[in-house]
Structure 1
Amino acid sequence: MSWPTAKRAIDAVLAAIALAALAPVLLVVAAAVAIALGRPVLFRQNRAGRGGEPFSVLKFRSMREPDPARGILSDADRLTPFGRFLRSTSLDELPSLWNVLRGDMSIVGPRPLPVAYLPRYSAEQARRHDVRPGITGLAQVCGRNSLSWEEKFALDVEYVEDASFALDLRILCATVGVVLRRDGISAAGEATAAEFRGSRMAADV
């Protein structure tokens, strides 16, 4: 059995086990989001999956709705202390296990990014879509949002080229440390990460 085939089977089993085991945590977080931020408790957004195909990613909401009348428009204004806690502990990512179970995502792989970014990648950067996107990945354990977009994409392509059981296991183990240390949650000067608008490399292609 090839690694991609085995990986999909492992992903499905692990996601099912995790969803069942973490059901109480999911319920508590959902209730906390409803109290702190209101409904809906889930954030849905179209992201680019394998081959660039769009899918609806699921996360717990961590931001307030935009409110122009109160001047709440930017991510920094919308991200509450409770939302920062969800992001720093990666609790907001738990619903994405459903995406893994469905086959939209993998547990390990390049992070899924907005569909709007697709025409902004260089041909090399677009190789990140040769595999299913993941909840965690090589870029996430090597700096997360402290990295530039170009650095993240280079690590994504490195993962595509070197994907293996051993690499996935190494990334999963490293993810535990990253989450506990709460490393690289936000880019410098940003509440989360700046929008990717293309790079010099992408513009030259």
Structure 2
Amino acid sequence: MRARFTDVAQRAIDIGVSATALVVTAPVMAGVAAAVAVNLGRPVLFRQRRPGLHGRPFTLVKFRTMRDIDERRGLVTDADRLTGLGRALRSTSLDELPTLWNVLRGDMSLVGPRPLLMQYLDLYSPDQARRHLVRPGVTGLAQVSGRNLLDWEERLALDVWYVDHRSLALNAKICLRTVLTLFRREGISAPGEATMSLFTGSPRAASEAAGDA
């Protein structure tokens, strides 16, 4: 019952805050869009299908931070393709501003497990897959507990803990810690990565699959 109340109340908060923030940040987004157009060209927005509530796909929208893949120029990995402007946008999370539209639409929430890649859905253990019982968030518990410095087991465990313990008070605390994390610019990328290494599966999921075979 408490979780249901939290979800309904959070949706109302999401609508109010995202609608207001889209209006207030419109001049900032216009400036970022112009900077991306000059430095990276068009399109200025990055769009990608991500799993949302119950794993249903939606189109995530962010500002572009990377150049296109170009093997001749050595632009292959994410680290190679990430530009100086892209690093600045990511470190300040300005690249995330368009995701407020995803929040307003109901694809995402302000707080929740981050939306990862569609290809990861079949790699989660049954417990890890419970991260999709709530809408994905612009920020989340893992993001304020180490961000991309966490390994995948830690990150996914925090996502599931959030699902089981979510409340408006916890969401407010995560939002406050998010502001502090942004000011400190902590955990922006894992060592040697532009953001985080690819998830290749959980050891627990592999052992469970072997046990069922």
Normalised-by-shorter TM-score class: over 0.9
* Residue type at the aligned position of 1:117: Y
How far apart in 2 are the matches of 1:24 and 1:80?
A: 23
* Residue type at the aligned position of 2:65: S
* Residue type at the aligned position of 1:61: R
How far apart in 1 are the matches of 2:136 and 2:186?
A: 21
> Unmatched 5+ residue regions in structure 2?
209-213
TM-score normalized with structure 2 length: 0.95
Q: CA deviation at 1:73?
A: 0.8
* Residue type at the aligned position of 1:145: N
After TM superposition, the runs of 4+ consecutive aligned structure 1 residues lying more than 2 A away are: none
Aligned position for 1:170: 173
1:143 maps onto 2:136 in alignment:
no
Aligned position for 2:15: 12
Cα deviation per residue 1:130-183 (whole Å; 9 max; x = unaligned)? Answer: 000000000000000000011000000110011000000000000001001100
* Residue type at the aligned position of 1:152: R
Q: CA deviation at 1:189?
A: 1.8
How far apart in 2 are the matches of 1:85 and 1:44?
A: 19
Aligned position for 2:85: 82
Q: CA deviation at 1:32?
A: 0.5
TM-score normalized with structure 1 length: 0.98
How far apart in 2 are the matches of 1:3 and 1:175?
A: 20
Structure 1 residues 1-205: aligned runs within 5 Å? 2-205=5-208
* Residue type at the aligned position of 1:74: T
3-state SS, counterpart of residue 59 of structure 1: strand
How far apart in 2 are the matches of 1:183 and 1:2?
A: 32
* Residue type at the aligned position of 1:187: A
RMSD: 0.9
> Unmatched 5+ residue regions in structure 1?
none
Cα deviation per residue 1:53-88 (whole Å; 9 max; x = unaligned)? Answer: 000000000000011221211111100111100100
How far apart in 2 are the matches of 1:190 and 1:27?
A: 29
How many residues of Structure 1 are paired with residues of Structure 2 in the alignment? 205
How far apart in 2 are the matches of 1:116 and 1:87?
A: 23
Q: Percent identity?
A: 61
